[in-house]
Amino acid sequence: MRSDAVTKGLTRAPHRSLFYSMGLTDKEIALPKIGVVNSYNELVPGHIHLKELVEEVKAGIYMSGGVPMEFNTIAICDGIAMGHEGMNNSLPTREIIADSIEATAYAMPFDALVFMPSCDKVVPGMLMAAMRLNLPSIFVSGGPMLAGKFQGKKIGISDLFEYVGKVQNKEMTLEELNEAEHEVCKTCGSCSGMYTANTMNCLTEALGIALPGNGTIPSVYSERKRLAKETGMQIMELLKRDIKARDILNRDSLYNSVVVDMALGGSTNTTLHIPAIAYEGGISLDLNVFDEISKKTKQIIKLSPASSIFIEDFNEAGGVSAVLNVLKKYNLLKSNNTVSLRNILEVAENGGVLDKDVIRDFSNPYFTSGGISILKGNLAPKGAVVKSGAVHPSMLVHKGTAKVFNCEESATEAILGGNIEKGDVIVIKYEGPKGGPGMREMLSPTGALSGMGLDMYCALITDGRFSGGSRGAAIGHISPEALDGGLIAYVKDGDYIEIDIPNKKLELLVSNEEIEERKKNMSILEKNVKNRMLQKYMKLVSDASEGAVMK
């Protein structure tokens, strides 16, 4: 066993003494050591209950002859970090999470690992670590929260961001907003719509690195506890058979994850995370793969924020296994092993659609291509990303005049201040991986646009990114970014911008001569960043089109 390096032999007497000091017996010291990577803290709704859930995982490990050894990594709440300087630090935590797990697992030679994420950057950060370490590995998340209820309908956290705009637009009172904010997050768990956290947790099933149900079983169901216990038991089977992370996480499983992502209409952040996971395994996976798969896949699920259907409804309709079942019928999945010790095609065969109003067939899709589209043009020669399945039909093709802002806050202020007119294209630059730095999410401005009733008339484009809670013609990840001299840096108020999502185009309608003149006369904004972690991040992070990985 890998852990023999610190438990066996004459020279390991000092090491064993330290295990004794922690209360381990001779028998336990001789058994396999299973690292349980817990992201519990008291900062994040999706993680606050992991202290209890981890005990179920450890019970499963003990029941199956292993010794669980728990350690923690960080997690932040993007909802709480949204709309202020805290969001600059969100995406960089993905790298910190991966690094901290890698360091710990080398320092303590575990025989296998159970990963317990829940929210946005923790899932991909842990997947990156699993790819680097290549040990027998399995994932179980904390599960989604249940939707809230307000004025007779289900609501999620993205609705609250939109309600701010409604209050400003005098369509809602402060008293109503106060009632809604008390009702929206009724339980612990990752936020209740198809936001980034739940998208990534669903994709752990598509990747085959988690047991069926991991992406959708609500956090407060007893079924989630049983899943955690079964996960603890299953890691021992993977260890026994020497099935390592890269036996599961490979080119075919990554391909399957993009297919499922397109069918789900998931968060655009997956176009950062899936390439980053691939990068850690030495696999090249760029935005062109998303574009190719989008052309042959159809969006068959449409969850909040694009509809009033939530993850709990998706779970009742059959969950990810049901989506896999539909995709298998149309020969869109590649054969690959999973941690259940069944091929992904077998998992798909055992799935079934229980509610055809929630999970549709290709004959009646929500969107005739994948839920995410990759746009290119002179504004984004390396690509830009939009959740096309959440765009109002009236905005799929749009030409409008630019209103330009150098940061998210000034754009949000202009929206709430009534300074945006129907037809405008809001341009937010200097929010990319380097320019932000940290590539902030833009749920505050997109939520304000929707709340002000402008999402059907205005587009928002940025070199930053969007929360999975954003909807409308919100186009992000523009590459190259402004700080790298991308054309978005030279857009001016009043410029015409053309958006054609069906034909995958994003163009600044300014002559080449004018663009060259601007490049001579306009300066790139300099960022004075005091945060030491972000200073390092700016120097090492790659373009968004490459997954914003550290190089």
Exposure b/e, 76-102, CB count within 10 A at least 16 = b: bbbbebbbeeebbbbbbbbbbbbbbbb
Check residue 136 and report its DSSP letter. S
Do residues 245 and 131 lie in contact, with contact meaning Cβ atoms separated by under 8 Å?
A: yes
Dist CA 48 CA 35 (whole Å): 20
Using left for φ > 0, alpha for ψ between -120 and 50, and beta otherwise, residue 318 falls in left
Do residues 505 and 377 lie in contact, with contact meaning Cβ atoms separated by under 8 Å?
A: yes
Residue linked to tokens 């050894």 = 69
Dist CA 285 CA 290 (whole Å): 9
Dist CA 206 CA 203 (whole Å): 5
Residue linked to tokens 């996971």 = 277
Is 327 in a helix, a strand, or coil?
helix
- Does the annotation mark 470 as catalytic? no
Check residue 537 and report its DSSP letter. H
- Which of the residues 137, 467, 479, 545 is marked catalytic? 467
Do residues 433 and 548 lie in contact, with contact meaning Cβ atoms separated by under 8 Å?
A: yes
Dist CA 301 CA 540 (whole Å): 37
**In 383-505, where does DSSP find H-type helix?**
408-416, 443-451
Is 481 in a helix, a strand, or coil?
coil
Check residue 441 and report its DSSP letter. B
**DSSP per position, 230-256:** HHHHHHHHHHHTT--HHHHSSHHHHHH
Residue linked to tokens 């829940």 = 118
Alpha carbons within 13 A on the beta-carbon side of 65: 7
Token duo for residue 76: 């932040």
Dist CA 73 CA 67 (whole Å): 20
Residue linked to tokens 């309600």 = 163
**DSSP per position, 187-214:** SSSB-SSSSHHHHHHHHHHHHTSB-TTT
| Residue 367 CB neighbours (<10 A) | 23
Do residues 392 and 455 lie in contact, with contact meaning Cβ atoms separated by under 8 Å?
A: yes
**In 342-437, where does DSSP find H-type helix?**
344-350, 408-416
Is 148 in a helix, a strand, or coil?
strand
**In 50-110, where does DSSP find H-type helix?**
50-63, 78-81, 90-107
User: In DSSP terms, which residues pair with 380 in a beta bridge?
Assistant: 377
Dist CA 500 CA 377 (whole Å): 10
So which residues are the catalytic ones?
467
